[in-house]
Structure 1
Amino acid sequence: MTTKKEYFAYGFTNVHWHPIAATGVKTPGVLFGEFSKFEGEATIKTITRKSEGVPVEEISKPEMMEGTLTGHIHLATARELYGLSTEGLKEGVWAYGSSSKTANFALTAEEQDMYGNGRLLGFANMSVTGGIKWSLENASEEVAEIEIPVKAMKDANKELRYDAMIDDVIDKKTVEKWHTDFSPDMVKKDYVFPS
């Protein structure tokens, strides 16, 4: 296996979300939508050791990641993601209000470099951190995109994010199941996929 010295991320595709019920049960991943931009940044906690009141040593540890997905989302996904409900309403009517709760979910995507090499991304414990937001303009030449603010928190392994160059993953079942059955367990060295 040749180790590339450089990797130039160019785009991303195959964004899937894996809803997690209040009981903790995760459903198989489904396409989230089509996105034009995915950005984020880790929130860091700095721990300092002082000697006689003067800092002599510091380490920084990531606590969470916050970011934004920009693009187009499937309508059924948006309703579930933002907690819209039909309870007590006429057929076809959906409501969003104080009883709405955003979904917890895992998120997977495939990043690509300018040469077509793929890298899998996985966030096992995510939530939406903002409410529904929209902007429409008559006579616009482009369909409006939406911005979804998201937060990645630590999972059962105390990790925020996983990534893997597709060509480097020896267990091809991991690549095959990344977008459908992603979990903090499936990336562990000793994990065996059920038959």
Structure 2
Amino acid sequence: MLGTEQFDHFEITNGMFRKASEGLLLAAMPIGCTGSVSIEPETRPIIKRCEGKVVKEVTIIEKLTGTFTGHLTLAMAEVVFGLSGDGLKEGVKGYGRNSYGGSGSATWDVYDIARENRKLIALPNMSWTGGLKRVFTNGEDEIAEVEIDFSALMDKNGYCYYEMIVESTSDQAIVNAWNAQFSEDLVKAQSV
């Protein structure tokens, strides 16, 4: 168990994305500089009534929706926004009706306030759903961050989010593979 009862989510870094292509996850690529990642569930209530009174209520999680805020690498921006060079001259990328944000898995490292404890997080089946937004402003004192929405759906294990606090007793094979090779098979318990 973690030596502390509290984990203060202070820093999120080392974002990686593995694009899905033809049912396979490609090599992990850096997302860029992460400013923030916000996630919240989309839920559906199931209610049982007895003689007109609510006697039981269960909330079903449908998916997660979220927003990434930060700076994307050029390669990641092409994946996130679906920029394509199909039918265009070399070096030209276009955005249009057939531009779809990439799908795959995303991972990050999260550190506590003293950077003494580390948590690994993953969205195993996510899609970038926000469209291309650009603002070009002269003379800014700070480079504006990109804000892009995403959806995280259930994977074949039935989860849309994973987290693991890294400890001395943690499975080092999982820790070492988390960012570069994350898949739902990495975290699934082996059947006996």
Shorter chain as normaliser: what TM range? over 0.9
Which runs of 5 or more residues in structure 1 are unaligned? none
Aligned with 1:186: secondary structure?
helix
Aligned residues: 190
Which runs of 5 or more residues in structure 2 are unaligned? none
Alignment of 1:17-28 (within 5 A): 17-21=17-21, 23-28=22-27
Map Cα deviations across residues 50-90 of structure 1 (whole Å, 9 max, x no partner): 00121111111211111111110011111122221112211
CA contact (8 A) 2:2 2:165 kept: no
TM-score by length of 1: 0.92
Residue 81 (structure 1) aligns with: 80
Distance between the aligned counterparts of 2:101 and 2:36, measured in 1? 21
Tell me whether 1:159 sits opposite 2:159 in the alignment.
Answer: yes
Residue 92 (structure 2) aligns with: 93
Offset of residue 37 of structure 1: 1.2
Residue 53 (structure 1) aligns with: 52
Alignment of 1:15-164 (within 5 A): 15-21=15-21, 23-116=22-115, 117-164=117-164
Distance between the aligned counterparts of 1:115 and 1:121, measured in 2? 18
RMSD (Å), alpha carbons: 1.4
Distance between the aligned counterparts of 1:63 and 1:176, measured in 2? 30
Aligned with 2:96: secondary structure?
coil
Distance between the aligned counterparts of 1:3 and 1:128, measured in 2? 36
Identity %: 32
Distance between the aligned counterparts of 1:171 and 1:27, measured in 2? 24
TM-score by length of 2: 0.94
CA contact (8 A) 1:29 1:180 kept: yes
CA contact (8 A) 1:41 1:65 kept: yes
Alignment of 1:173-188 (within 5 A): 173-188=173-188
After TM superposition, where is structure 1 displaced by more than 4 Å over at least 4 residues in a row? Answer: none
Aligned with 1:133: secondary structure?
coil
